[in-house]
Amino acid sequence: MLARILSAEFLKIRGKMLWFLAVLGPLGVAGLQGLNYGLRYDYLMNLYQDDPWGGLIRDVSALTLPTLFIGLAILASMAAGIEHQTNAWKQTLALPVPKTAVFAAKALLNVLLLFVSSTLLAVMTIALGATLGFDLGDIPYGDLLQTLYYPFFAALPFMVLQVWLSVTLANQAVPLTVGIIGMIVAMFGSRFDDWVPYKWPHLLNGAGEPLYSVLAGAALGVVLLLAGMAQFARKDVS
């Protein structure tokens, strides 16, 4: 059932710029780093002479977090907006589908799009490194995938939260405001206590184990998803 709703969701976002945004995010991050390296190539290469790939990955990841946070808010809002625009909720929810599945499909759609973005960023980072003449034999794949996918999972609660807000509130100004403030707060996330979710995508914690941040994010994401599904199924459709 979920698969069928999801396939309808993917049909609906055609021509709605969601795919474009999903590509634009990583392209922007890689492009900005390309510019950075292009302008001060000699300085940076001198700085990272022992580990050019490591330096590049760190630079890329510095831009990834804000991009991820603003991207998840915009994607959630646009995906929900497709239904809000002509109030298509009532049509979808009068179909023989569990209301919980409708909510889950929206959330999953956003998670999948962002997963594609993260994957694209990995590919583009390698491409950028290759263009800069780094040795392709030295690519630290483990580090690269960790740097890109760990924050993705640690940011799951925010993806679900934005979907929830965007779906529940017809006025998208509220979820977008929350999303933008969230992006700013997340940039300073490393200063917070360990329990603050905004810190998790930075993968920093007292134990020094990034995986803890990832697990906390994934767990809270699932909890929020279940809560959102329950609330969505209960409320009356306007």
In this chain, which of 20, 43, 51, 91 binds another protein, going by CB under 8 A? 91
Is 92 an interacting residue with respect to another protein (CB under 8 A)?
A: yes
Is 11 an interacting residue with respect to another protein (CB under 8 A)?
A: yes
Binding range to another protein, per CB under 8 A, among 2-10, 23-31, 127-135, 203-211: 2-10
Q: Which is nearer to another protein, 4 or 58 (CB)?
A: 4
Residues in contact with another protein, total (CB under 8 A)?
Answer: 27
Name, in order, each residue with C-beta under 8 angstroms of 120's C-beta and a sequence gap of 6 or more: 22, 23, 26, 27
Dist CA 165 CA 26 (whole Å):
25
What's the token pair of residue 74? 């915009």
From residue 219 to residue 238, the character string flagging contacts with another protein as x (rule: CB under 8 A) and all else as - is ---------------x-xx-
What's the token pair of residue 11? 């049909």
Is 156 an interacting residue with respect to another protein (CB under 8 A)?
A: no
Q: Does residue 157 sit in helix, strand or coil? A: helix
Dist CA 9 CA 189 (whole Å):
33
Is 4 an interacting residue with respect to another protein (CB under 8 A)?
A: yes
Minimum distance of another protein from residue 235's CB (angstroms)? 9
- The alpha carbon dihedral of 195, 219, 77, 234 has a sign of negative
From residue 97 to residue 116, the character string flagging contacts with another protein as x (rule: CB under 8 A) and all else as - is xx------------------
Binding range to another protein, per CB under 8 A, among 10-18, 26-34, 167-175, 182-190: 10-18
Minimum distance of another protein from residue 94's CB (angstroms)? 4
Judged by the rule CB under 8 A, the positions of this chain that interact with another protein are 4-5, 7-8, 11-12, 14-16, 82, 85-98, 234, 236-237
